[in-house]
Structure 1
Amino acid sequence: MPFRKHWLPILRDLSHAFQRSMIEHLPRQIVPKVHYCTEYDQVISDYGPAIKQWSMRYESYHFYFKKIALRTNNYKNLQKTLATRYRLKQAFSSFKMTQLNHNDQAIKIQKIKNNIFNNEMKCAIISHFGNIDMSKDLLQCHKFRYENIEYCRSSVYIISLMNLTETPKFVQVVNIIKLTHKWWLLVDMLATIGYDDKLCAWEIKSMDKYDLLDPCSMKYYYKGLDIYEIDNSTFVAFTARLTLH
């Protein structure tokens, strides 16, 4: 759920209460993190959600390099040793991971029933494919992977950026359908209302405009996003900055 700015005073009071409790009851177990947590409200206010500053992945990678440095006992050109070992590890992992193969992969393939599409969706499908028997000619799947990019039903994706303002254009994948040997994304073309500073999220709205997109020719900007309903409005939590150049 998106973090709300009016929660920050509550977070500040709780963090200070926690620090006082540690000083009173466990003074010998106080570590620097006990003090750092009292600064979280100001950090979140200045730089956005704390999850965007999560450093556990860095610590994980740093542990790997530190372990290699201790085992190799090479101190003349340590940077080259670490880079070489890591590149060999990446090559081995890429060879073993089947999802990195340049193949299409559909997960949980099912037949389609006519009643799952509303009139607007049917019009978009007929406009794209022509007159077809949807229950016989089409198949659907829950997830579709193309060149290590995964598209999931109900997820929201960025397909482009608006000129000048560089505002993201969002679509929601309603269904993933297949005709003959080709998979297509049936998407709801969402309208971007604006960015909410209090929620650190983009407000979007469905206009019931549907289209079919080719996942093999789409430009990939970001992973699938989740939708949140707040006060009869719809938001996607996305704080990264994307640019046209």
Structure 2
Amino acid sequence: MMHDIAEGVCPLIINALLNEVIQQRLLTYSNIEQRTSCFIYGFYDSSNKPPPVKRQQLTHSTIAGTASQKRCLFRLFPIIFHDIIDDLTLLPLYTILREIISYIYANPLRKSWLPYLDGLCKQFHCLMIEHLPARVTPKVHFLTEYTRSIEMHGLPILNSCMRFEAKHLYFKQIAIRTFNFKNPLLTLTKRHQLRYCMLNNSNSFCYSSSITVRSSKSIKWSKLSIPVRRLLINFINETDLIYECTSIYYHHMNVRTGSIVVHHLAHAEEIPIFCQIHHLLNIQEKTTTIAEMLNTISFDENLWSYEVEFSGTLVTIDIEHCFDIHPHC
């Protein structure tokens, strides 16, 4: 997946779209570089912030960056270039590939989705031959084999080497920085073990097997807003100790205030209902999450994102029973 999609097809489509932007004179090379460098990435995307797209990369049909950075740029491409995305004739290639990726990275993946996924992959392959015949690489063809691979070997996300490469990158960086050629394995092992000892002995509290709180501060009942107090008045006493934290770790995933969470799926169409986390409270060694429900208005295929609006309704949610956690920009 990492080599076929993140480092293969995704940068190929990005390069083709940006070259069309230049050919149609919608933006200049300097405009593209400025947009990709000045775009404000959210907390969850900041670690994968891609480098600016320069003129040399577009002329040589390359996109700089790691696999995670290229995938991040591909995912946020319609947001960065939202004002010109509708004028691109190659946009169907992007939307079809985006839908293919949403199925390939899905966990769990329903078996009934496979025929539709196979049709999408073949449609993408045909459009590539029609619009970009010179860019049809073997990795484009590999997409048509994913349906058969899923039937034989299961979820592709479980076979991805992305996590191994990320772990391996840490050791490569340490080896370069230490510049030690005498027993380097001892140096790498010791640094790695000491790092995890520091993380495990930091100011953290485990309130369940899946939720860890790194740091928190006490807060008085009177400091909470009136809507929050009305929501909690039946569950706690005013004398109970209340600790508020800005983030918690749920299965090693950082959940912060401001995060957008898929609360549940509505109706037979399985429309996602989102909510935004406002407070993360620890009361009597139990994590209580206060969130505001969001109304799902529609889905924009060009931007590949849902349009939502704030409802003003506060609820308590259980992070362990939510479907997914989405970046908040």
SS of equivalent residue, structure 1 residue 48: helix
Looking at structure 2, the residues matched to 195 and 142 of structure 1 have their Cα atoms a distance apart, in angstroms, of 30
Provide, for residues 20-76 of structure 1, a one-character-per-residue CA deviation record: whole Å limited to 9, x for no partner: xxxxxx9xxx64559xxxxx94443443398887x9xx9975x97xxxxxxxxxxxx
Aligned residues: percent identity?
A: 15
Looking at structure 2, the residues matched to 11 and 131 of structure 1 have their Cα atoms a distance apart, in angstroms, of 62
- State the match for 2:298 in structure 1: 194
CA contact (8 A) 1:102 1:146 kept: no
Note the residue ranges of structure 2 that are not aligned, 5 or more in a row. Answer: 1-15, 30-55, 64-84, 102-138, 140-158, 166-195
- State the match for 2:20 in structure 1: 12
CA contact (8 A) 2:221 2:242 kept: no
Looking at structure 1, the residues matched to 271 and 237 of structure 2 have their Cα atoms a distance apart, in angstroms, of 36
If each structure's helix is expressed as a fraction of its own residues, which one has the higher value?
A: 2
The 3 A distance-change label for structure 1 pair 15 and 182 is farther
Looking at structure 2, the residues matched to 59 and 31 of structure 1 have their Cα atoms a distance apart, in angstroms, of 28
- State the match for 2:225 in structure 1: 118
- State the match for 2:284 in structure 1: 180
- State the match for 2:213 in structure 1: 106
**TM score, norm. by length of structure 2:** 0.41
Looking at structure 2, the residues matched to 31 and 9 of structure 1 have their Cα atoms a distance apart, in angstroms, of 14
- How far did residue 132 of structure 1 move? 2.2
- State the match for 1:209 in structure 2: 313
Provide, for residues 112-159 of structure 1, a one-character-per-residue CA deviation record: whole Å limited to 9, x for no partner: 2456533222211214x14424xx621011111233343211110112
CA contact (8 A) 1:138 1:179 kept: yes
CA contact (8 A) 1:107 1:142 kept: no
Looking at structure 1, the residues matched to 223 and 327 of structure 2 have their Cα atoms a distance apart, in angstroms, of 23
Looking at structure 2, the residues matched to 204 and 117 of structure 1 have their Cα atoms a distance apart, in angstroms, of 26
**TM score, norm. by length of structure 1:** 0.52
**Are residues 1:225 and 2:233 paired?**
no
What does residue range 143-158 of structure 1 map to in structure 2 within 5 Å?
143-158=247-262
- How far did residue 182 of structure 1 move? 0.8
- How far did residue 205 of structure 1 move? 1.6
- Give the residue type in structure 2 aligned to 1:132: E
- How far did residue 105 of structure 1 move? 1.4
- How far did residue 102 of structure 1 move? 3.9
- State the match for 1:159 in structure 2: 263
Looking at structure 1, the residues matched to 301 and 223 of structure 2 have their Cα atoms a distance apart, in angstroms, of 36
- State the match for 2:178 in structure 1: none
CA contact (8 A) 1:44 1:50 kept: no
Looking at structure 2, the residues matched to 32 and 206 of structure 1 have their Cα atoms a distance apart, in angstroms, of 42
CA contact (8 A) 2:95 2:302 kept: no
If each structure's strand is expressed as a fraction of its own residues, which one has the higher value?
A: 1
- State the match for 2:187 in structure 1: none
Looking at structure 1, the residues matched to 215 and 285 of structure 2 have their Cα atoms a distance apart, in angstroms, of 16
What does residue range 36-115 of structure 1 map to in structure 2 within 5 Å?
41-48=88-95, 102=209, 104-114=211-221
- State the match for 1:84 in structure 2: none
Looking at structure 2, the residues matched to 51 and 111 of structure 1 have their Cα atoms a distance apart, in angstroms, of 44
Provide, for residues 144-194 of structure 1, a one-character-per-residue CA deviation record: whole Å limited to 9, x for no partner: 123334321111011211121211010111010011111111111111112
Q: Root-mean-square deviation (CA), in Å?
A: 4.4
Name the larger-Rg structure.
1
Note the residue ranges of structure 1 that are not aligned, 5 or more in a row. Answer: 1-7, 20-25, 35-39, 65-95, 228-245
CA contact (8 A) 1:120 1:209 kept: no
Provide, for residues 192-228 of structure 1, a one-character-per-residue CA deviation record: whole Å limited to 9, x for no partner: 1121334332111222211112334x14x3333215x
- Give the residue type in structure 2 aligned to 1:168: P
Query: For this pair of structures, how many residues does the alignment match?
Result: 167
